[in-house]
A and B are shown apart, each in its own frame.
Chain A
């Protein structure tokens, strides 16, 4: 079946959601940018004079403060609603361009006015080129920075989600091994005993019902109140995300050719003219590419060396290319030129790091996620699983007391006749439910699809095609949730009368396709709880599209072997 074009997603979000969302401009982003931008101004030092360092710092710091102010203004105006409605990428690019251009204008004006930087043809002749360089750097840098921070944030949440998923699987295993049943017995045993005592006390005395109801209510509330809420699973440290991403893709060539080359050309054109600048940058880019390719090979063999290779690769590449570019114009190893090489190299390091994280997410996100998953150790998982199981079971027991026993006791109290019989029935049902076993196990794809669709078959005709094979405990839950969401949406929003469900095993999990007739999904259906669920179970590998003849096709790949 041909799928219409759907937005490309990285870790479950579109590029627009990454770049124009929460992280488009942020305090964290500024904290990352500040040191890079601060020392980038020093690239303009032509004659090294220690006495002028404070003035250079003043000019750089002032321009940086203005950059922060401009970001804040953008955050409060054109990017104000980005958390709920991501801004178009072009808006972020424009903000980056304007902020970068204005920062460069201020830095240039201050350095010229303070006598740090010569402007033989006057400040006016210098400013347009400087504004263009700063603007282009900002236009490229801000989206890349936003994308990087958004990806790190997604990865960090992803670990928490993985931990919850693994905990669910662990719970299922514990249930199969009888451990959860033992925990349940420990929690519900005293409650059952108490209910039996209350049943004995009841006798034929109608007046006892209200006391018993009160007792049951107190038990339920005690149980509920004593339940420790399970905290959010710990998120992975940002440093670990960086380390893992670098073990996958430490020295991407795109950092050189997409970011470094245009930026270097613009910087050098003002110094050496267009022809020389292009030649210099070409030679520099070729040397850098060679070093980066070599570094990538090293990391392929020794993934743990990702961080080291990034540092060494950018340092060696930056210095070699800087020296080569210097030799081309007959420059000497003066203090100023050394400073230029050092500053360019550290800038190269920052750019390479950001692009590396983005490339790792775009091209190898599953590999990164696998590495992140490996940071979850058995002790942490066991502790979290036990806490979750204990909380869920306590809620379950409290729910039986609240929802079943107390509800029926209330009806018994209001009944004109047979009150004590009804009350005894309420207590017996509570005891019976609390004594019931925890039911778990795997199911085939067809069984799951049939089980979920059975209640909906009363309202829609449902056709099921499923391949052979069993689903694991977590897959049963995920597939059930997706099917329930799709079926309810098809009936409620699509007014469907016919639905086809296909559940097919694929290499990395189960491919679910749900096609319904009726109305096509509205354009605002791309976000919402359904989307969140699909993201959660598929890691972003899903689509929802309109069918030509009316209706909707939802395609979701539920991951896991």
Chain B
């Protein structure tokens, strides 16, 4: 029986996923919500697969935990469970995800068989999904959705305000958000981000 460690900071999702995995016949050795608990449980059980939430709400991400766990067990199967359609939408620096990782978007959890299949296939996972945005555009979009002004984004990204404006224009083009008096482009971009981040459908 495949042993699985579940790491998810949302207790509601954690409980739901754990129940579903047990239903599908997996041995869930532990389900925890923080990075410290995760590494303690991992050292104790050395499971076959770690199901990791990518966004643990501050501190190390699920990707960091994956790196730490692989240092202890190189053949560990890893599946990320996340609401983000693209990890770069969580953090632009998540461009180099660990190799051989599965990626399950929470929005697809209506069919828990999908999750079970990802864990069974964790030794041969597919590619990490990418939305059709460059890293710069994805990062700019994330900061727009965080409510930052162009000047603040420019300061954070160490670029000129004109570069931020350009990135916003291009991201809007890619996402099919065109200048329209009836729709505030910034709001539309934030909605698009929310949609891709799995934080809602992102449409009014």
Flag if A531 contacts B64 (CB, 8 Å). Answer: no
Inter-subunit contact A454/B194 (CB<8 Å): no
- Asked if B204 and A491 sit within 8 Å, CB to CB, the answer is no
**When the two chains form their complex, are residues A407 and B199 in contact, meaning their CB atoms are under 8 A apart?**
yes
Chain B residues 4 to 26 lying within 8 A of chain A, measured CB to CB, are 12-13, 16
One of B35, B147, B157, B201 near A455 (C-beta < 8 A):
B35
Interface extent on B, as a size class? 35 or more
Assuming A230-B149, A402-B199, is B156 touching A529 (CB within 8 A)?
yes
* Known contacts A231-B149, A458-B36; A403/B58 CB under 8 A: no
- Residue from the list B60, B157, B194 in contact with A459, Cβ < 8 A: B60
A528 at the interface (CB under 8 A from B): yes
Closest to A388 in B: B147
CB-CB under 8 A for A459 and B68, given A22-B160, A230-B149, A529-B158? yes
Contact B158 A229 (CB under 8 A): no
Taking a contact as CB atoms under 8 Å apart, the answer to whether B187 and A225 are in contact is: yes
Chain B positions within 8 Å of A84 at CB level: 159
Chain A min CB distance to B130 (Å): 20
Which chain B residues numbered 165 to 204 have a C-beta less than 8 Å away from chain A? 184, 186-187, 190-191, 194, 198-201, 203-204
CB neighbours (8 Å) of A370 from chain B are none
Does A221 interact with chain B (Cβ within 8 Å)?
A: yes
User: A residues within 8 A CB of B155?
Assistant: 157, 161, 532, 536
- Whether A454 pairs with B36 at a CB distance below 8 angstroms is yes
Q: A528 to B203, alpha carbons, bound, how many Å?
A: 34
Known contacts A455-B60, A458-B39: A221-B191 contact under CB 8 Å = yes
Q: Which residues of chain A have C-beta atoms less than 8 A from B38's C-beta?
A: 458
Q: Which of A161, A225, A429 contacts B204 (CB 8 A)?
A: A225
| A229 to B184 CA separation, bound complex (whole angstroms) | 11
Number of interface residues of A (CB under 8 A): 50
When the two chains form their complex, are residues A414 and B109 in contact, meaning their CB atoms are under 8 A apart? yes
For A222, the closest partner residue in chain B by CB is: B204
Docked-complex contact A529 and B59, CB < 8 angstroms: no
Per-residue CB proximity of A204-245 to B under 8 Å, as 1/0? Answer: 000000000000011011001101011110000000000000
Q: Is A196 on the interface with B (CB-CB < 8 A)? A: no
Q: Which residue of chain A has the shortest Cβ distance to B110 in the bound complex?
A: A414
Determine how close the nearest CB of chain B comes to the CB of A499; give it in whole angstroms: 13
CB distance from A12 to the nearest CB of B (A): 11
Are B157 and A456 touching (Cβ within 8 A)? no
Q: Within 8 Å CB of B199, what residues of A? A: 399, 402-403, 407
Contact status A392-B93, CB under 8 Å: no
Q: Is B56 an interface residue (CB 8 A)?
A: yes
A454 contacts which chain B residues (CB < 8 A)? 36, 59
Q: Does A527 contact B (CB under 8 A)?
A: yes
A458 to B56, CA, bound (A): 13
Return the chain A residue nearest B61 by Cβ: A488
The answer on a CB contact under 8 Å between B35 and A458 is: yes
Is A458 within 8 A of B158, CB to CB?
Answer: no
Query: Which of A220, A231, A395, A429 lies in contact with B147, CB distance below 8 A?
Result: A395
Q: Are A528 and B158 in contact (CB under 8 A)?
A: yes
Question: What residues of B have a CB within 8 angstroms of the CB of A484 in the complex?
Answer: 58-59
Contact A221 B204 (CB under 8 A): yes
* Given A399-B199, A491-B68, A529-B156, 12 further pairs, Cβ under 8 A: A83-B160, A220-B200, A231-B149, A392-B147, A395-B147, A403-B199, A410-B107, A455-B36, A455-B60, A458-B39, A459-B67, A484-B58
Q: Which 10 pairs from chain A and chain B are nearest by CB?
A: A455-B59, A414-B110, A458-B39, A402-B200, A458-B35, A232-B151, A459-B68, A458-B36, A221-B204, A455-B35
